[in-house]
Structure 1
Amino acid sequence: MKFLPLLTGLLLMSPNAQSAEPHSVFTLRGTCQSFLVGTENLTSLCAGEVMQVVYTDSRMDLSIWTDAPSGRFFVLSGTASAENGNLALAVDQITEGKDGSGNNNVEIKASGKCTLAGDPTAGPAQYTCEATDDTDKTYKFALLTDGAPPENMLD
């Protein structure tokens, strides 16, 4: 995983870090179909790789990487649940990492939802996210996984 150095920092900075342990940490790869942040179209910068962390208290982080030279990334956080046989994330916070250092992160309250339709261990699956932060900035993301099994980062 090319973003492995960020893994430890993300787990430590997560709002879940003090209250729960990671239950599962997976990296999924695929084709970024769209990635919009406010008026910015980041689709061409989308790395086509996400990290999904589910904590023992049912919270979840979905980290979206970019290929921006600065190391910019986004983490959508909230409560995970099953919905119609799919994984759902009720987004209540978005963290934007301005660079790969983890020192220049901006956290903001948000509302929205991400879903993972399909089983990424059995073939391609579809992530879709739509959220709005407290400043009324919208976030839209869609990624179709490549069908390869997710990489388990806890092994």
Structure 2
Amino acid sequence: MFGIESLYSAEGMFAYALVFLLAATPWIEILVVIPAGIALGLNPLAVSILAFTGNLTTVYLLIFAYQYLSSTFDKHKSGENKKQLSKRKKKALHIWNKYGFPGLAFISPLTVGTHFATFVALSFKSKKYMVTMWITGSIFVWTVIVTVVSYYGIESLKWLLG
């Protein structure tokens, strides 16, 4: 199994491949992968493109496969699992009601992750094209912000430390 620590020992093209794979992994968001890649001296533009593409790839797979996954999941739920699911749905519904889907999409990298936000939106019967548009926009905006902040933050640290 690989994790963010495997990026620290990677070199060359393997390091860039890990950026893509780690960004594609749920719960390891671009907020972690981009600063790590830039701090390790990888090309910031390449890191941002690979992280964006990696994260978006698995989100699009989730959107595409949602109907199949949800029907399979529904078939295998027991009564106890339904109670647990309803608690999770209530919490997600609270977030949904407070921020709406655009709000959830844009805060998801900071809070619950883009994959979970996508799943929540689809489970609340949002249109796939709207989920695709908002999540893509969110991932793009956060990729740009995190790349710029990471690059200039690391450059500032280098300058300060001499």
Q: TM-score band, normalised by the shorter chain?
A: under 0.3
Q: Which has the higher strand share?
A: 1
Normalised by the length of structure 1, the TM-score is 0.23
Normalised by the length of structure 2, the TM-score is 0.22
- Asked which structure has the greater CA Rg, the reply is 2
Q: Which has the higher helix share?
A: 2
Greater relative contact order structure (CA < 8 Å, 6+ sep): 2
